[in-house]
Amino acid sequence: MIRPARQPLTVLLYLATALVVLRGTGTATEELPTFFVPPPPFSEGIFPCSECHADMEVNQKPRELTEHTEIAKSFKHSPQQRWCFDCHNPDNRDVLRLANGDLVTFEESYKLCGQCHGTIYRDWKAGVHGKRTGEWNGKKLYRLCVQCHNPHNPRFKAIAPMPPPDTPLLIHNQKHSGGSIRKNPLGKIE
C-alpha cells in the first residue's frame, strides 16, 4: 500500500544525490585541454630565441629597437604601458614569464594572456571563446590565443568576404539569356 507513494520519493532522493555528486566533480571550465594543434605559430627561423640571445647582454631599458623592427613597428597592444619583458623572460628567451615570476613555455602562452584577459580566458577554457574543431562530445582541438591573435597586434584584421548570393535580378537575367552566366567562381559549373 505504501509502495506507490514511496517510489517517487526514492527516485527524488536518488536524483538529489546524483545532482550533488555531479556538482561536486567540478565543471568543464576547470578542465584544460591536453593538446593543441597546430604548435605556436612562430615566424620562420625565430625560435629558439636563445640561438641569438644566449650570448647577448640583457638590456632591460625601454628604447627604440634596432632588431625585431617589424614587431616594433606594428606593435599595438597598449604600447604606452608595455615593454618586451612584461611577457618575455630576460634570462631565458625560450620561455615566457608571468607577472608573478613563473616561467611558462610558448605552448602554454594562454596562461600569460589569461593574466589580463580573465573573462576571455574563462570563456576559452569552457570552449566558448575561440574556435574549436573536432567532436562536440569527444576530442576537441583547441587553439592557442596566438593562433588567431597576433600577440603584438591582437586585433582581428579585416578579411575579404566570400561572394554574396545571387540576387533575384541575376537569376532573372540568367533565365532570359538562356544559360548560365554565373560570374561567381565558387558556384561555377563548366
Partner 1 sequence: MNANNTDDKLEKTFTRRGFIKGTAASAAVLAIPVGSTDASVWQSFFQNNFHEMSPEELQDTIHNLAKKYREKYQADFTIKTNGPRPDTLFGYGLDLSRCIGCRRCVYACVRENNQSRDPQIHWISVLQLKKGEKGVSDLENANMYYAPDEVPEDGYFYMPVQCQQCENPPCVKVCPAKATWKEKDGIVVIDYNWCIGCRFCMAACPYGARHFNWGEPRIPKEELVTETHYLGNRPRYRGVVEKCTFCIQRVRDTPGRYPACVEVCPVGARKFGNLLDPKSEIRYCLEHKRVFRLKEELNTSPKFFYFFAT
Residues that bind partner 1 (CB under 8 A): 22, 27-29, 119-120, 123, 126-139, 148, 156, 158-167, 171, 180, 182, 184, 186-190
Helix (H, G, I), strand (E, B) or coil at 53: helix
CB 181 within 8 A of CB 173: yes
Nearer to partner 1, 108 or 123 (CB): 123
CA distance 44 to 27: 39
Shortest CB 162 distance to partner 1, Å: 4
Shortest CB 115 distance to partner 1, Å: 17
Distance separating the N- and C-terminal Cα atoms of the chain: 78
Nearer to partner 1, 58 or 128 (CB): 128
Nearer to partner 1, 5 or 189 (CB): 189
Shortest CB 33 distance to partner 1, Å: 13
Nearer to partner 1, 82 or 132 (CB): 132
Give the H or E element holding residue 104: strand 103-104
Q: What is the CA radius of gyration of the chain?
A: 27
Long-range pairs for 38-41: beta carbons < 8 A, 24 or more residues apart: 38/147, 39/107, 40/106, 40/107, 40/109, 40/144, 40/146, 40/147, 41/146, 41/147
Shortest CB 85 distance to partner 1, Å: 29
HSE-CB at 136 with a 13 A cutoff on CA atoms is: 0
Shortest CB 63 distance to partner 1, Å: 35
Nearer to partner 1, 95 or 110 (CB): 110
